[in-house]
């Protein structure tokens, strides 16, 4: 397989309809059609037949990017929720005054801090060239799962407001779901990690 760059003005290339997604509304996603497209040899990336290797060589980086997106979203969601529960009144006090609110957000904040350390260490490893595919799968798996859980549990504090797109938490909730798909599904991450665990000789 070879990778070839195709200009949008190229004969035979056609962009189809925009796909309607449940989240990431600011990011256009469309069908692309290539019918009898011809491209000059200088449009090839790398050597002939090296395309698959090029793509595979970037998988760890792609998964790290997904983890960075997730941890950033997690931190923002927790920040919004703390700010909201400080102001929102219920039963004569703010939501933030309830022990359940403090305990839940404390737990999520601690997990977010641990994830941030993992992500930052993975960035360092990527920069120095030591980030393995297995470690990238691990950070992506942990980040995606926490991202979706934080979005779900924090939305609950907003009540009905959290279900309205006018509030950032609602948009963050639907945007979070793709974290378990983009860059490789979480099931694929588990398979990569599991394979590595069971490929090691015990004793």
Catalytically annotated residues:
62
Euclidean distance between CA atoms 153 and 157, whole angstroms: 7
Q: Which residues contact 145 (CB under 8 A, 6 or more apart)?
A: 180, 186
Euclidean distance between CA atoms 178 and 85, whole angstroms: 27
Torsional class of 18: left (φ above 0), alpha (ψ -120 to 50), beta (otherwise): beta
Residues 60/67, Cβ–Cβ less than 8 Å: no
Euclidean distance between CA atoms 113 and 132, whole angstroms: 22
**Token pair for residue 22?**
């449940």
């Amino acid at each position: 397989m070879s990778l070839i760059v195709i200009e949008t003005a190229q004969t035979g290339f056609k962009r189809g309809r925009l796909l309607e997604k449940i989240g990431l509304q600011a990011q256009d996603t469309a069908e692309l059609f290539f019918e009898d497209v011809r491209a000059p040899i200088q449009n090839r990336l790398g050597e002939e037949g090296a395309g698959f290797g090029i793509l595979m060589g970037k998988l760890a980086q792609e998964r790290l990017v997904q983890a960075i997106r997730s941890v950033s979203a997690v931190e923002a969601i927790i920040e919004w929720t703390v700010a909201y529960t400080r102001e929102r009144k219920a039963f004569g006090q703010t939501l933030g005054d309830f022990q359940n609110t403090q305990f839940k957000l404390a737990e999520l904040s601690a997990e977010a801090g641990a994830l941030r350390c993992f992500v930052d260490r993975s960035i360092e490893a990527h920069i120095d060239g030591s980030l393995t595919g297995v470690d990238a799968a691990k950070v992506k798996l942990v980040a995606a799962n926490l991202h979706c859980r934080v979005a779900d549990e924090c939305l609950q504090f907003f009540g009905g407001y959290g279900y309205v797109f006018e509030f950032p938490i609602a948009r963050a909730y639907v945007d979070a779901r793709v974290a378990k798909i983009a860059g490789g599904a979480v099931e694929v991450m588990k398979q990569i990690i599991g394979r590595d665990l069971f490929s090691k000789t015990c004793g």
